Amino acid sequence: MAWYCSANSNEGLVNNLKTAKIFKSEGVEKAMKAVDRKNYVSQGPYNDTPQPLGFGATISAPHMHAYALQYLEPFLKPGMKVLDVGCGSGYLTACFSEMVGPEGKVIGIEHIKELVDMSRRNIQKDRPGYLESQRIILVHGDGRKGYPEESPYDCIHVGAAAEKEPHALIDQLKAPGRLFVPVGVKSQSIYQIDKDENGKVTRKELMGVMYVPLTDVDKQI
């Protein structure tokens, strides 16, 4: 059903995703309608398919972004802090910021400098005040290590597939907190990894996927 959500406008795309029951939250709907994908994707912004960004990177299909926002929604409340690993074009980073509001903070980390620059240009054009106010902070670095300088985080999203469970990211979650991450090499699945208020970690496999690998820059470009 998800792959049939393509449309001719951002509102149409989001409405189709809602009809397909990819998300249920009004907050997710509001954020996705506020952040127009055409400002972050140069070709086919409203097609429900992954799109190339260059440098061996892709932006995920809209239905995967909608799933991520829905599963992380309990940890995207106003004032919360988010880490977006592999922020790519900046689209989902901006959606996260819409959900956590002006009192929240989103750190987008990307290991390809040209993509960090792309994110910055896109967000500066679409949401200029978010960078100046540090509502969004973009970092050039190895997201596999997280970003301890701003930790802990209410939630962490990973936009590429880790070979194995990323313990460095789990360590940087608040208690409670949630991680949304694709894991695997030949066979991949999205995992929801929760840390409860006592620090106990539990894992739930959500769905099979196929993401680009979370890897070294020289192996990606």
Closest C-alpha to 64, from 86, 82, 79, 42:
86
Active site residue 9: no
Neighbours of 195 (CB within 10 A): 20
Non-local CB neighbours of 142 within 8 Å, separated by 6+ positions: 109, 111
Non-local CB neighbours of 150 within 8 Å, separated by 6+ positions: 81, 83, 105, 107, 137
Residue of 25, 42, 60, 97 marked active site = 60
In the chain, what is the greatest distance between 2 CA atoms, to the nearest angstrom? 46
What stretches of the chain show up as alpha helix (H) in DSSP? Answer: 10-19, 26-34, 62-72, 91-100, 113-126, 128-132, 167-171, 217-220
The DSSP symbol for 24 reads -
The DSSP symbol for 41 reads -
Catalytic machinery residues: 60
